[in-house]
């Protein structure tokens, strides 16, 4: 089944304790992206990646890092989480940049992060 | 800068009645437009897209959307609402040509009343 898999689904952590949210897709998509969803703000892009070793900032990159060492994986790293990073996070992938005009995103199920 | 407006936080409709969820957009050049649905505790699911061609786009679960270039709108519609359609709906826009960022609206909660 074509899918984007995020782990963990739920995470409660303390301020300053480094954490990683994993994201993996099995559709051979070159494009992957991270979003955070907050009430009243919709989805805001954190980082995106056009291909292996190619990443760029989205709208709200502060406090986050990403890496893209393999096509299928795109982990989101919070080096020193703070309470304002409490949010619902989504990873997505698509055929963007692969010559197709099917730009629909496939989203993961989300990671609900609470930083106390 | 491109943007998407979903003017209604919530839309209430009786089961069996037609529904409309509104979306207007702003983007340079020709728009690529999308609708996604999010059920509770789930990720977003792709419903439909407009790239070019017919202004009426048909998608999943009986939904359709009408592209209106002059009004820069892309409203989501369904002829007969089901209780199971109750969810959060997001409109999104992307410019055409090369890599373009996708911008999402803030979402509209659809409540279908039995």
How would you class A18 by CB atoms within 10 Å of its CB: exposed for 0-12, middle for 13-18, buried for 19 or more?
Answer: exposed
Q: Searching chain B, which residue's CA lies closest to the CA of residue A35? A: B104
Closest CA to A35 of A86, A98, A110: A110
Query: If you search the block for the tokens 């496939």, which residue do you land on?
Result: A106
* pLDDT at position A99: 66
- Chain B hits for A45, Cβ within 8 Å: 101-102
Chain B residues 24-43 with CB within 8 Å of chain A: 32, 34, 36, 41-43
- Chain A hits for B51, Cβ within 8 Å: 101, 103
**Sorting pLDDT into bands at 50, 70 and 90, what band is A1?**
confident
Q: Searching chain A, which residue's CA lies closest to the CA of residue B10? A: A40
> Per the CB < 8 Å rule, is B43 touching A58?
no
Tokens of B112: 């279908």
Alpha helices, H only, chain A: none
The answer to whether residues A33 and A84 touch, using CB atoms and an 8 Å cutoff, is no
**Sorting pLDDT into bands at 50, 70 and 90, what band is B1?**
confident
* pLDDT at position A104: 83
> Per the CB < 8 Å rule, is A42 touching B90?
yes
What is residue B85's three-state secondary structure?
helix
How would you class B97 by CB atoms within 10 Å of its CB: exposed for 0-12, middle for 13-18, buried for 19 or more?
Answer: exposed
- Chain A hits for B43, Cβ within 8 Å: 4, 90, 107-110
HSE of B26, CA atoms in CB hemisphere, 13 A: 5
Indicate the range of A45-49, A75-79, A93-97, B15-19 predicted with least confidence.
Answer: A93-97
> Per the CB < 8 Å rule, is A109 touching B104?
no
> Model confidence over B92-106: pLDDT tens digits?
998 877 677 789 999
- Chain A hits for B30, Cβ within 8 Å: none
Highest mean pLDDT among A99-113, B7-21, B30-44, B100-114: B7-21
| DSSP state for residue A79 in the 8-state scheme | S
Cα three-residue angle B47-A89-A63, rounded to 5 degrees: 140
Whether B107 has its CB under 8 Å from any CB of chain A: the answer is yes
Chain centroid to Cα A23, Å, comes to: 7
> Model confidence over A23-64: pLDDT tens digits?
999 999 999 999 999 988 989 999 999 899 999 999 899 999
Query: If you search the block for the tokens 């990403």, which residue do you land on?
Result: A66
CB atoms within 10 A of CB B11: 18
- Chain A hits for B46, Cβ within 8 Å: 104-106
């Amino acid at each position: 089944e074509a899918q984007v898999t995020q782990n963990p689904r739920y995470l409660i952590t303390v301020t300053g304790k480094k954490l990683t949210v994993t994201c993996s897709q099995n559709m051979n998509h070159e494009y992957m992206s991270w979003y955070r969803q907050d009430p009243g703000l919709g989805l805001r892009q954190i980082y995106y990646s056009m291909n292996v070793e190619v990443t760029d900032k989205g709208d709200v990159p502060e406090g986050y890092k990403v890496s893209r060492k393999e096509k299928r994986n795109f982990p989101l790293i919070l080096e020193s989480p703070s309470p304002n990073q409490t949010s619902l996070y989504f990873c997505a992938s698509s055929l963007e940049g692969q010559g197709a005009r099917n730009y629909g995103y496939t989203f993961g199920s989300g990671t609900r992060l609470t930083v106390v | 800068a491109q943007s998407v407006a979903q003017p209604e936080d919530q839309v209430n409709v009786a089961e069996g009645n037609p529904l409309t969820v509104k979306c207007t957009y702003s983007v340079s050049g020709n728009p690529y437009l999308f609708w996604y649905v999010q059920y509770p505790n789930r990720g977003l699911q792709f419903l439909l897209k407009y790239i070019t061609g017919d202004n009426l786009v048909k998608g999943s679960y009986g939904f359709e959307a009408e592209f209106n270039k002059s009004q820069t709108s892309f409203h989501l519609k369904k002829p007969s609402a089901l209780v199971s359609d109750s969810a959060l709906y997001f409109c999104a826009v992307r410019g055409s040509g090369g890599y373009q960022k996708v911008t999402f609206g803030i979402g509209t909660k659809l409540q279908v009343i039995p």
